[in-house]
Structure 1
Amino acid sequence: MKLLLSGFEPFGGMKVNPTEQLMQDMAAASITGVDIRTVLLPVYFDECAEILLQAVEKFQPDVIISCGLAAGRTSITPERIAINVKDIAPDASYPDNRGTRPQDEPIDPDGPDGLFSGLPVRDMVSRLQAAGIPAAVSNTAGTYICNNTMYAVLNYIRRHQLPVLAGFVHVPASSDMAADKPSLPSLPYDMLLRGLKLIIESTRTAWETRAACQL
């Protein structure tokens, strides 16, 4: 199975984004039956997805798992759906890393309103919980960069009718982030890394099952 993983640089004035470290560690990781490639994305509307899709065209993966930070969440949350909108409320604390603040803009004016993840989100959550890692299915990826990336990738797969499993996983802040902000919910980084590996194993099982059914 060829797996493309993506994470993001820090944003919103934060010095750390745990998904950046996850990409560094997963680039050197070894998982049986999985050929892993990683890409670090900028926190820029639209360009985030353009860079990821360039990697998709080059690597031709079977699976795409995008990861992002959801500071304030208390668990690892695979996303169920992406929606066709870019929006930052006027009173939001931060724009993207270029200062862009879209409002009520479609990601694709001709695209569907929403697109569901192709990842086995329920099985992912079950595996994480069985391993003692806080996890839950999320029904909103927001309207920021993470949703922009998730929707654009799923829309690309839809338009090109590709046999690719893809979706998005949000992780909470890591404990080192909470050192500067003790009220911020967090999980130890080692738990986030272990959780991502379980997510990959869940997806590998789903991909192998689908591949077997197509024989």
Structure 2
Amino acid sequence: MDTRRPYHHGSLPKTLVTHAIELLDESGADAVAVREVARRAGVAPSAPFRHFADRAALLTAVTEAVAVDFGEVQMAAVNAAESIPFRALGTAFVQYALDYPHRFALLRGALFGGTRTPVLEEGHRAFTQAVTDLIVTAQQQGELRQTDPDLIRLAALALVYGLSQMFVDNYLDSTQAETLIDQVTELFGLGVLAPGAPERSPAT
């Protein structure tokens, strides 16, 4: 087999991004080197620069591809859910971080912090709207309480983002992930105030 022609005509950028993601998964963003990506793709070291100006441009393309995959995985979980799709969405978020900690670290900086690229911003806006629509539908079906959908989305994001980071940082035992994810998301759904607990007195 000719290992120097592993891609179809016109698909080299996609092939390079695929190999860059492999390196990301193996050892993190720092391991994504243009020369190694070219070697794995079976092309000359200079070939990637015909499509990506530099390593930063390649990493940007990687981040955008990972963000798309991240969203698709969550929506697939929603579509496959037998009950409470919103809960399936949160579970898939945390599971993705467990399965791909280096991808999550990359997204943490590029998607959840700092300035997003136009592509990331557009994708983030579309995904946020999809989640909001999911919440509204769940409210209409009596699965979620009637309150501001954006507030529900923000509270849920804070929960799954924090839980994901705790697993990635090894603060929580990943071998107990399935149980902990179920327990935490269930508690989030129930709320932590006991029935009949007195409400906070208004500030004077």
TM range (shorter): 0.3 to 0.5
* TM-score, normalisation: structure 2: 0.32
Structure showing the higher helix proportion among its residues: 2
| Structure with bigger gyration radius | 2
Structure showing the higher strand proportion among its residues: 1
* TM-score, normalisation: structure 1: 0.31
